[in-house]
A = this chain, B = another copy of it.
């Protein structure tokens, strides 16, 4: 491995594109972000990534030749071996985008791609709450909900690259209606960010709470902490539902650690209430539940880790 060199980690989100430049020790030196609102064309995204890379290098007075690799987390099902983003619901629906080849062609360095929740799980595994843990599950609760499953120290991807789609899990209290294409899954409908908002709105009336009807999940949880009974009911139902899902994962995979991340999952009240319910449920099955130590930086840090791996192999795959 070259002694001097740099890598870039990319988090391609539904609303933002975030980049971070790091040295070969994985430490973030600088960050860059731009909106992806209204963008669909992968070529445009790759051009924006190049802009960001150049900007990050220039800010740090580094020449392009010092960039050794890049990796990107994408918000959808991703074939890591082929470097293809198979499908996303964000970015207006990518289908079979050869993102690794596009990045390598534009930047001239080895690239890697991965699903964004998996990218976050890698970061938690290597530098976050999952360090040294052989088997653990990272759960991201944001607008949607998904899991990155680390087994025997490696990401488990499944036959069709979509292991960990726990947003579709059925637990007591979720709908059992058949799922139509493009619809959110049963679990996500209750405890994804939108699901929690919907719970609030279905319970809300002016007589029952002085709070506004248009609160988002984290605001509802804030108000639950401050004592609003209706917000507490939503928090309790959400925590109960999440606890059932985590319990199911723990009995199936017998893993001892679950790391909770994502903008909604990071809320301390959500994690604490879920943990309480898990403790009461089954003395034999007690997965440790902790919040992500990397928070919103998990994805981009995981991408940096993958870029370091790609730099170590240093072979263009195209």
Contacts and interface: CB of A to CB of B under 8 A. Distances in A.
Interface stretch (A119-127, A158-166, A227-235, A263-271): A158-166
A251 B165 contact: yes
Nearest to A182: B284
Interface of A: 134-135, 147, 149, 151, 156-166, 168-174, 176, 178-179, 181, 185, 244, 247-249, 251-256, 280-285
Contacts of A247: 168, 170
Given A169-B248, A172-B176, A157 B283 contact: no
Contact of A151 (B151, B161, B173, B256): B151
Contacts of A134: 159
Across the A-B interface, the 4 shortest Cβ-Cβ residue pairs: A158-B254, A163-B254, A179-B282, A168-B251
This chain: copies in complex: 2
Contact of A251 (B185, B251, B281): B185
A251 B167 CA distance: 8
Contact of A253 (B161, B163, B173): B163
Given A156-B253, A172-B176, A181-B284, 9 more contacts: A135-B159, A147-B252, A158-B254, A158-B255, A164-B252, A164-B254, A168-B282, A170-B247, A181-B283
A157 B135 CA distance: 10
A187 to B, nearest CB: 9
B244 A157 contact: no
